[in-house]
Amino acid sequence: MRADQVIIEPVLSEKTNLAREGETKKYSFKVRMDSNKYQIMEAVKELFGVEVAACNVMIVKGKPKYSRGKGGSILGNTGNWKKAVVTLAKGDTIQAIEGV
């Protein structure tokens, strides 16, 4: 699997921004469900040219969604997705995400 296929998108929220600005640089990414932490670490290293110290992977459960429209109310869930929290080595940053 290629590196650009492993990482889907960065997760940008208030909580991830605070983790990114802390002393330990932690970046969160939405990744493919069938990828493992070693593939994710290699993909971050290859795509952004940084040294990865650690990687934690978790599955985020989908949320319930309700919709009321012309056809009546629809009940369903969003899909589950996998999130990776990558800790970089001291002194490394990912410039593509820092400006966002």
- The mean pLDDT value for 34-39 works out to 96
DSSP 13: S
Question: What is the 3-state composition of the chain as percent helix, strand, coil, each rounded to the nearest 5?
Answer: 30, 40, 35
**Which pLDDT score is estimated for 9?**
95
Range of the domain at 82: 3-98
Report the alpha-carbon distance of residue 21 to residue 93 in Å, rounded: 10
pLDDT of 47 > 80? The answer is yes
- pLDDT tens for 68-86 read 877 778 788 999 999 999 9
Pull the structure tokens for residue 67.
């919709």
- Given phi > 0 = left and psi -120 to 50 = alpha, else beta, which region is 72? left
CATH number of the CATH domain containing 36: 3.30.70.330
Tell me the one-letter amino acid at 59. I
**Which pLDDT score is estimated for 100?**
63
The count of structural domains within the chain is 1
